[in-house]
Amino acid sequence: MAKYMLIMRTTDEGMERLAGLELDEILETMGRFNDELMRTGVLLAAEGFDDPADTVVVDFSHETPVVTDGPYGETKELFGGYYLLDVASKQEAVEWAKRLPYAHGTKVEIRRVPTIDEFPQDNEWVQKERAWRERTGQL
């Protein structure tokens, strides 16, 4: 099994489509999808993000970091949320992504999340993180 993150990048078109729907309908449809992920045992985490108007950006492209309000870059493709899945392959992650409700007007980026076992185990910082993960029940 491997961890894959599905990152939803919502477009203005996708946001407009959702704005026309009742919250109860969205919760019902997303709830059914999330329930299936939970029942099959592949869901590790999932969160949706708040309104991009409440975003703060820390920009490190200058000598001193610059903090600004509002979303970074273009508002055409903002991160809307994510799923973290534990699946057998990238293809299985793709198959789950293709079933996402309300995905019209959205792009889903799928990225594998490496495990701590893939890093040099003799590294002091990797050892400290492994110990922390073990203490907190993440390993």
How open is the CA angle 30-56-77, to the nearest 5 degrees? 50
pLDDT digits (tens, 9 = 90+) for 65-82: 999 887 665 556 678 889
105: tokens are 């007007």
Residue 102 in tokens: 């309300």
Sign (positive/negative) of CA torsion 41, 42, 47, 48? negative
What is the pLDDT, as a whole number, of residue 74? Answer: 58
List pLDDT tens digits, range 16-60: 787 888 889 988 999 999 999 999 999 999 998 887 778 888 889
Going along the chain from its start, the domains and CATH numbers come out as 2-112 (3.30.70.1060)
Task: Report how far residue 132's alpha carbon sits from residue 127's, in angstroms, rounded to the nearest whole number.
Answer: 9
Q: How far is CA 131 from CA 34, 82, 87, 116, in A?
A: 31, 27, 25, 11
64-to-56, 59, 68, 79 alpha-carbon distances in Å: 16, 9, 13, 25
